[in-house]
Structure 1
Amino acid sequence: MTISTTRTTDPWSVAPAEVGSAAALALLRDYYLDVANRYYRLRLGRDGTPEEIESGLADAPSDDLAGPSGLFLLGRHDGAPQACAGLRVIGDRTVELTRVFVRPAVRGTGGGTRLLAAVDEAARTLGAERIVLDTRLDLVEARALYTRHGYREIPAYSSGPYAQIWYGKDLNGTAAEAG
């Protein structure tokens, strides 16, 4: 007799959450540590100092990822907060995707796919027809995730210090121009 241990239910769930909640703040801190330290390692050969991390967090608030100008999504893996994404309204029928993060321990388990499906649905609830984002060139895994899910390179729509490549997705299925 063979007993199957194959999981038949998805361990991931994604739902809106308060961006100021303890779970959201912990994920946003982990997100920032991940991308900041990657930046520091690549450019300076070291991790960021505690002062640099705290300064960066203070300079990049996420308060606008709450209604009515935005939305914050929290992804749970087996009930534990493990992923997040934020949307902010930036124009008529356009939202910007930001703060996309899956904790390293659960990467490769489908969390990014579940998160981006929830992003599409949430963007529609905000009245959006387009999603745009900017990212860094060194975040190759994130860029691959976006392109696998219908995002295509678009002209620059922002000029932030870490914006090196821009992507867009038309929620009707085609690449979106910024706007």
Structure 2
Amino acid sequence: MSKSPNSGITVSTAEVDAAESVVLLREYFAEMTARYIGRQPTDSEIESSMAEDPSTDLSGDTGRFLVARVNGRPVGCVGLRHYDEHTGELTRMFVVEPSRRQGLGASLLRAAERAAVELGMGAIRLDTRGDLVEARKLYADNGYEEIEPYSDALYADHWFEKRLCGMNSSQASRKIPRTAY
């Protein structure tokens, strides 16, 4: 488990089907759906979104699911999956509304980058929507560069990548137990 310089913030792996993970993923899908359709989604619309884009590949041998906590309370998450042999794909980046603008997004990104290096990934890619302006700023501010589309994801408008090989040892090379990032 890594402790952020921001007091009380920790980021660690979690099973994607654990109760706290499911709650965070449900909130993520509710917000993404609401922002896309311009209204609060129904429970059935949230369930449909979750079923159409499952998160099962974010654990075990195929990826990692990381949860950020403030004083033990889950407040954010990010998923990392293998895109190809040497590249990871970041997904499900989310911080609950009351906990935003406190450095949690950057803490989640750093933890995902450390996990990616540990998994042998030399780069991380991601896609995001045009309306997620704050997410695009977070990625750019943390060294992610906009690239040409690498996928035909239905809702993607922007694609980013960060090469990890240039990370120094304190950022990436230290050995971290699989269950704690």
Which TM-score band applies after superposition, normalised by the shorter structure?
0.7 to 0.9
Equivalences for 1:66-145 in 2 at 5 Å? 66-145=59-138
2:28 to 27, 31, 49: 31
Conserved? CA contact 2:146–2:158, under 8 Å: yes
Aligned Cα root-mean-square deviation (Å): 1.4
User: CA–CA distance in 2 between the matches of 1:56 and 1:88?
Assistant: 19
Cα gap change, 1:54 to 1:114, in 2 (>3 Å): same
Cα gap change, 1:22 to 1:153, in 2 (>3 Å): same
Shift of 1:60: 1.2
User: CA–CA distance in 2 between the matches of 1:48 and 1:106?
Assistant: 22
Residue 172 (structure 1) aligned with residue 169 (structure 2): no
Shift of 1:173: 4.0
Conserved? CA contact 2:90–2:126, under 8 Å: yes
Question: What's the counterpart of residue 17 of structure 1?
Answer: 14
User: CA–CA distance in 1 between the matches of 2:166 and 2:130?
Assistant: 24
Cα gap change, 1:77 to 1:55, in 2 (>3 Å): same
User: CA–CA distance in 2 between the matches of 1:86 and 1:10?
Assistant: 23
Shift of 1:172: 2.6
Partner secondary structure for residue 35 of structure 2: helix
TM-score by length of 2: 0.86
Partner secondary structure for residue 30 of structure 1: helix
Shift of 1:9: 6.0
User: CA–CA distance in 1 between the matches of 2:106 and 2:44?
Assistant: 34
Question: Structure 2: which amino acid aligns with 1:24?
Answer: S
Identity of aligned residues (%): 46
Conserved? CA contact 1:150–1:173, under 8 Å: no
Partner secondary structure for residue 168 of structure 1: strand
Structure number with greater Rg is: 1
User: CA–CA distance in 1 between the matches of 2:40 and 2:122?
Assistant: 39
| Gap regions ≥5 residues in structure 1 | 1-7, 175-179
Count residues in correspondence.
163
Partner secondary structure for residue 90 of structure 1: strand
Question: Structure 1: which amino acid aligns with 2:34?
Answer: N
Cα gap change, 1:158 to 1:78, in 2 (>3 Å): same
Equivalences for 1:49-64 in 2 at 5 Å? 49-64=42-57
| Gap regions ≥5 residues in structure 2 | 168-181
User: CA–CA distance in 2 between the matches of 1:142 and 1:60?
Assistant: 20
Structure with the bigger RCO (C-alpha within 8 Å, sep 6+) is 2
